[in-house]
Amino acid sequence: GEDVEQSLFLSVREGDSSVINCTYTDSSSTYLYWYKQEPGAGLQLLTYIFSNMDMKQDQRLTVLLNKKDKHLSLRIADTQTGDSAIYFCARDGGFKTIFGAGTRLFVKA
């Protein structure tokens, strides 16, 4: 809900880097997540970061966490048309995960 906020849309050209940003208000989470949802499909966990880390890299994905500013970002290098999807930022809220509304990434060929 409102606890986790992200912009609704992002448009990039194929081959460029995409940066999807997320802010949150509650800093008590141990984990922060990025999920991907392709059209007509469920959510797929892309990556996660422990709250005591600043950065995590996994192939084309780079997650940056700024705890002071409560800001999380996902960078996708060399964005491909197959990356077009909705990307959800989320944080663990005890027994439940609290999601943002999702950022729809459009990749132009």
Partner 1 sequence: GAGVSQSPSNKVTEKGKDVELRCDPISGHTALYWYRQSLGQGLEFLIYFQGNSAPDKSGLPSDRFSAERTGGSVSTLTIQRTQQEDSAVYLCASSPPGSETQYFGPGTRLLVL
Contacts to partner 1 by CB under 8 A:
1, 4, 30-31, 33, 35, 40-45, 48, 88, 92, 95-102
Q: For residue 57, give Cα distances in angstroms to 8, 25, 66, 97.
A: 24, 24, 15, 22
Instruction: Name which of 89, 55, 87, 36 is nearest 63 in CA terms.
Output: 55
Per-residue tokens: 89? 């930022």
Instruction: Name which of 73, 97, 66, 100 is nearest 86 in CA terms.
Output: 100
Which lies closer to partner 1 via its Cβ, residue 40 or residue 82? 40
